[in-house]
Amino acid sequence: MSAIFTIAKRELGGFFNSPVAYVFLVIFLLLSGFMTFMISNWFGMGQANLAGFLVWHPWLYLFLVPAVGMRMWSEERRLGTIELLLTLPVTPWQAIAGKFLAAWAVLGIALLLTFPMIVTVNALGHPDNGIIVAGYLGSFLLAGAYLAVTSMTSALTRNQVVSFIISVVVCLFLILAGFPPITDLLVRWASPGVVETVASFSVMTHFVGLQKGVVDSRDLLYFASIIGFSLFSTSVILRAHRAG
């Protein structure tokens, strides 16, 4: 446990000693503000909720989360520090968890820094804060799912750009499989059962429920299993790479 903490602390230091964390925070806040106010026209909607804000997160995260996570393992492989890390008395699982948690914490900080949205909506109206909390929880889990996918892709290659592109494609698939315009299109060719099965793999299906304030254990389980599966794949890839 303390090894996970030590590794996470080092990773966090790495984020904040380099421009990565700051660039991410600023871009995330600017873009989410832009989407909410200019595209969703949040003030014009006249609704005391954060739907117009949270709806953009799957798309924002699509590019920003792989950007934060792409160096996670590829940089270790490129610099050779992976050899150092994994010959210290640390299990690969501790290293994977430590790195993942540190990057997830950065994403969490970004999300917390959007607190003025909550303040504003509470000042202007009487929103259901339970729905808002569920929506934030959904957003955080979504970011974790993308990040775990990025952890897996960054273990695949020593090239950060390749890692970034593959994780964007995988995450895009996770969105589109349940994105209404796509599922509506698919229904014309495939039986509803098939479309539903494919859609159940999508982050959208599960994110939407949380946005509406429904904390369903199936949705939580979905995100937990995406994260668990991706991190497990990371360990398999790392082991295969070491075995040559």
Partner 1 sequence: MIKVEHLQKRFGPKIAVDDVSFSVEKGEVLGFLGPNGAGKSTTMRMITGFIPPSSGRVSVGGFDILEAPLAAKRLIGYLPENAPAYSDMTVAGFLAFAAELRGLSGDAKRKAVHRAIEMCFLEPVANQTIETLSKGYKHRTCFAQSILHDPDVLILDEPTDGLDPNQKHEVRTLIRTMGEKKAIIFSTHILEEVEAVCSRAIIIDRGRIVANGTPAELKRRCDHAGTVTVRLAKSAPGAAEKLAALPGVGKASAQEGGLFHVIPCDKSGTGIAAAIYELAARETWTLEELHTEEGRLDEVFRSITLGDKSTKEVAA
Binding site for partner 1 (CB under 8 A): 2-3, 6-7, 10, 13-14, 17-18, 79-81, 83-84, 86-91, 242-244
Which residue, 16 or 173, has its beta carbon nearer to partner 1? 16
The residues, ordered by sequence, that sit 6+ positions from 206 with a Cβ below 8 Å of its Cβ are 138, 218, 219, 222, 223
Which residue, 92 or 209, has its beta carbon nearer to partner 1? 92
Shortest reach from residue 82's CB to partner 1, in Å: 8
Q: Over the range 224-241, which residues count as b (16 or more CB within 10 Å of their CB) and which as e? A: eebbeebbebbbebbeee
Which residue, 5 or 229, has its beta carbon nearer to partner 1? 5
Cα atoms found within 13 Å of the Cα of residue 124, Cβ hemisphere only: 15
3-state class of 157 per DSSP?
A: coil
Shortest reach from residue 10's CB to partner 1, in Å: 5
Which residue, 42 or 100, has its beta carbon nearer to partner 1? 100
Which residue, 230 or 235, has its beta carbon nearer to partner 1? 235
CB 107 within 8 A of CB 25: no
Treating both helix axes as pointing N-terminal to C-terminal, what angle do 129-156 and 160-176 enclose, rounded to 10 degrees?
Answer: 140
Shortest reach from residue 15's CB to partner 1, in Å: 9
Shortest reach from residue 84's CB to partner 1, in Å: 5
Shortest reach from residue 103's CB to partner 1, in Å: 15
Residue 108's Cβ-count burial label (10 Å; 0-12, 13-18, 19+) is middle
